[in-house]
Amino acid sequence: MTSHNTSSEKQTAAGRENQGTAVPSSARALTWSRRAEAWKKNWKIFLEDRAGVAGAIVLILVILVAVFAPLIADRSMLDVTQNLDNPRYASPSAEHPLGTDNYGRELWARLVWGARVSLIVGVAATAMSMIIGTIMGIAAGHFTGWVGGLIMRVIDFFLVLPSLLLAIVLSSVLERGVFTIVIAIGVTSWAGTARIVRAQTLSAESRLYIERAKVLGAGHWHIITSHLLPAVMPLVLANTTLTVGGAIIAESTLAFLGLGDTTQQSWGTILKNSMDVSAATSGYWWFILTPGLAIVAVVLAFTLVGRAIEAIANPTLRSR
């Protein structure tokens, strides 16, 4: 009798263990299924936005050009000593599609190699800005008392401080290079993101599931990583694509002011070279127009993609 009861208890315990393992696995599968359906729905909405799709196509082409720059234009085309036979300031023609610069270098080759630095700086500086802004914004919205107040004062300080002026100071003090420009732009452009993330965090904090998590004894780390971060990520992603364009313009501005790395090709450096030779007053319009149109096209493409993603994150914008 005792052995029979013992075996029954073992079977019951085994059944409970099986149920305990089956429930989480089924719940996990349901979660991934819902996420897949959400991704398909969002992808369909994105494809319906013609402007966003056009921007994405432009970005893909520019990224491919930047990645395969050594195959498209040999690096020797950037060497001044190997282009002595080329005419200087040649206007666009069949032989020189985008014209040449003051050293006889093909502008299309400089444009191809410049896409690398401009995209790297834009993406890397935006990533740094988004990380800092997201952390500070969530902390400012989640924590109360003097901690939240102190974080907000830091955010307000960087908001009122001219970002371009601070970036110029950092670029002047630190050693010149691409990494310095990334730091200068990333450190000075996160405050706007922090304000947006803080507003979204405050909205998420008022929801019942977060209140329930607090009542059940969830700590700050669990609430931030499991609830607040997923709630603000769609907005952060949309804001990221919009910020990349601003970072590319900032890099071009710093390079135009002579604070960039002169050993690296970038679209801002080409503009700086055109200013040095007074291309605007000398009639060398292609020297200015070529990098200027490249910057405008990429910034516009990032903006269009950002607007499309923002419409997915905020459904109220779709009807506008």
Instruction: Classify residue 91 as left (phi > 0), alpha (psi -120 to 50) or beta.
Output: beta
pLDDT tens, 39-84? Answer: 788 788 878 888 888 988 998 999 999 889 888 888 888 878 777 7
Output the tens digit of pLDDT for each of the chain's 320 residues: 444 444 444 444 444 444 444 445 676 677 677 777 777 887 888 788 888 889 889 989 999 998 898 888 888 888 787 777 788 888 888 888 888 888 888 888 889 998 888 888 888 888 888 899 889 988 888 887 888 888 888 888 888 877 777 778 877 777 777 888 888 888 888 888 888 888 888 888 888 777 787 777 777 788 888 778 888 887 787 777 778 878 888 888 887 777 777 777 888 888 888 888 888 788 888 888 888 888 888 888 888 888 888 777 666 555 55
Whether residue 18 is contained in a domain is answered as no
What values do phi and psi take at 18, rounded to 5?
-65, -40
Whether residue 12 is contained in a domain is answered as no
Whether residue 29 is contained in a domain is answered as no
Give me the number of domains the chain comprises: 1
Whether residue 10 is contained in a domain is answered as no
CATH of the domain at 292: 1.10.3720.10
183: which residues sit within 8 A by CB, 6+ positions away?
A: 128, 170, 174
| pTM exceeds cut of 0.95 | no
Whether residue 15 is contained in a domain is answered as no
Q: Name the residue range of residue 207's domain.
A: 43-317
Whether residue 22 is contained in a domain is answered as no
Lookup: tokens for 73 = 């234009």
Whether residue 309 is contained in a domain is answered as yes
Lookup: tokens for 8 = 């029954």
